[in-house]
Amino acid sequence: MTSPLVAVMILYSLGMAAGQVLFKLAAMRSSDMAVPDGFWKFANGYLIVGLFLYAFLTLLWVWILRSVPLSKAYPFVALAFLFTPLLARFILGELLPASYFIGLALIAAGIIVVVRG
Q: How would you write the pLDDT of the chain (117 residues) with one tens digit per residue?
A: 788 999 999 999 999 999 999 999 998 887 655 555 556 666 788 999 999 999 999 999 999 999 999 988 999 999 999 999 999 999 999 999 999 889 989 988 988 888 787
Q: What's the confidence (pLDDT) of residue 34?
A: 56
Q: What's the confidence (pLDDT) of residue 36?
A: 55
pTM: 0.85
Q: Are 79 and 111 in contact (CB under 8 A)?
A: yes
Domain boundaries, the chain: 3-116
